[in-house]
Each structure stands twice: as C-alpha cells, then as structure tokens.
C-alpha cells in the first residue's frame, strides 16, 4: 500500500515474487541491524523469526539456504550462519580515519558517505567525533563524499600565484586545444614523451617486366620462310 508505506509480501503475484520479496526484506533487515551495531551472525531460523517469516514453506527455506543468501553480494556465511557484508567493514571512527587516509595516500580520492554509513555502526556519531579530520564534498548528483583532511598539505600560496592560476581559463578547452597551446609555448605533452610507433616501410611493387615474350619455335625447317608479326599492334594495318 503506497499510501501508508506498508508492504504485504503475500499480496505479490506469483511464487517467485513472494520469494524475492522475502529475500529483499531479509537483506534490508540484516543491513539495519548491522548499522545499529548488531554485527554477530544469525541462523536462518533466527532471521525468519526476527523478520516474522516463520510461516514460509520448506521450498522457500531451501532456496534461501542453497541459493538466495549464499549468492547475495550483501550477505556472507560465517560458520553456517548469516551476517551482513558491507563494502567497507568498519568497527569505529579510527578504522574510518585509517581507511580515508589510505585512500588519500593511494590517490583514490574519497568514499561515498552511503558506503560508510552502510558498513560503520552508528556512522553519524563517529563522523561527528572526527570533526575537521575529514572533509565533505557534494557531487553534482547531491551524493556526499568523504575525504581525509591531510593537514600537512595546508600551506599559504602567494596571492600573485593565485591570480595567475585563476587567470588561465581551461573550461572551454578540450585535449587537442590544450596540446596545441603547450606546443606554442614550447612545452612537450605527455603523448610526445611516450614510445613512438614506427610505421612499417611500404615497399613499392616493381612494374611488370616489359621484355618481349619469347616463343620456342618447333618448325626449325621453316626458318627464313615464316614472318615475325610480334611487333605489329592490333587494329593497325
């Protein structure tokens, strides 16, 4: 019912729709409990009990155990039990800071806030505690990204250099225009420093030999009698 947000799994049409509805609810429940700090694995019976699905049939249970849960990228099996598997499994704020620092050192940039919230229990509390050790950046699609705030990179830049930097417009320049500009300034681009491919030498085909074809004469006894017409051009008298 879209009016009040309720969801009746048994109202779904067909058996497959009901099965996948149960699976979706289980994965969402495992994610929610992981985010609140309940990260210990559960048996299938415990999951069905907590999601109020103890009445499902034996075939559906078998499908969950043998296919659905074991093959789901967000669920991992631990000693026959099931736990949520986030993209980044973080225990506390220190683990988050180490992850962001490692990303920064490797040049990987930041990490989506939603990925951090998925794997870090009580994520908002941990993020707030880190304060200015991290930086938020909003993407054009309004998703937030977290970066490690490397304070060793903070230094004052002379105002003159800042003006020079801002005075060069590059928004409307594509790669070809930038390369042309570098050449005019006597600066070699990265493409010119790479290994150059040597074009294969194309050999010219030799013209066919214009030598006259020689025919072997078998009528030796008629030498001096027969005439040679090999130089006569067809169509001319």
Give the whole-angstrom CA distance, residue 153 versus residue 148.
11
Q: List CB contacts of 185: < 8 A, sequence separation 6 or more.
A: none
Identify the weakest region by mean pLDDT among 77-81, 187-191, 233-237: 233-237
Task: Please say which residue of 41, 56, 84 terminates a domain.
Answer: 84
Residue 124 covered by a domain: yes
**Mean of the pLDDT values across residues 121-126?**
88
- Structural domain count of the chain: 2
**Cβ contact 147:110 at 8 Å:** yes
pLDDT of residue 136: 87
Confidence band of 174 (pLDDT split at 50, 70, 90): confident
CA distance 99 to 74: 20
For position 166, what pLDDT does the model report?
82
Instruction: Report the CATH number that the domain containing residue 39 is assigned in CATH.
Output: 1.10.10.10
Query: In the predicted model, what is the mean pLDDT of residues 19-48?
Result: 91
Same domain? 67 vs 99: no
Q: Is residue 39 part of a domain?
A: yes
Say what the pTM is: 0.54
User: Greater confidence, 67 or 178?
Assistant: 67
Query: Are residues 79 and 130 both part of a single domain?
Result: no
Rounded Cα gap, residues 111 and 217, in angstroms: 91
Sorting pLDDT into bands at 50, 70 and 90, what band is 5? very low
Q: What range does the domain containing 47 cover?
A: 16-84
Measured between alpha carbons, how far apart are the two ends of the chain, in Å?
103
User: What is the rounded average pLDDT of the residues 119-143?
Assistant: 88
Confidence (pLDDT) at 104: 85
102 domain-assigned: yes
State whether 78 and 100 are in the same domain. Answer: no
In a domain, 29, yes or no: yes
Q: What is the pLDDT of residue 169?
A: 74
Q: Is residue 55 part of a domain?
A: yes
Are residues 80 and 98 located together in one domain of the fold? no
């Amino acid at each position: 019912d879209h009016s009040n947000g309720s969801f009746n799994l048994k109202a779904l049409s067909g058996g497959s729709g009901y099965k996948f509805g149960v699976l979706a609810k289980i994965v969402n429940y495992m994610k929610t409990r992981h985010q609140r700090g309940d990260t210990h694995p559960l048996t299938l019976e415990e999951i069905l009990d907590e999601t109020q699905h103890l009445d499902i049939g034996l075939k559906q249970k078998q499908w969950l155990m043998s296919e659905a849960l074991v093959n789901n990228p967000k669920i991992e099996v631990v000693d026959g039990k099931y736990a949520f598997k986030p993209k980044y499994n973080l225990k506390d704020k220190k683990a988050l800071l180490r992850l962001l620092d490692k990303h920064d050192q490797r040049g990987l940039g930041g990490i989506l806030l939603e990925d951090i919230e998925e794997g870090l229990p009580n994520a908002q509390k941990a993020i707030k505690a880190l304060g200015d050790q991290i930086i938020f950046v909003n993407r054009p699609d309004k998703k937030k990204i977290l970066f490690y705030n490397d304070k060793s990179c903070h230094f004052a830049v002379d105002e003159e250099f800042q003006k020079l930097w801002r005075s060069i417009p590059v928004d409307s320049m594509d790669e070809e225009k930038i390369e042309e500009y570098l050449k005019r300034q006597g600066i070699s681009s990265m493409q010119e420093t790479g290994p150059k491919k040597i074009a294969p030498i194309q050999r010219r085909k030799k013209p066919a030999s214009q030598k006259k074809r020689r025919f072997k004469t078998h009528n030796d006894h008629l030498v001096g009698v027969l005439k040679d017409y090999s130089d006569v051009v067809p169509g001319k008298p």
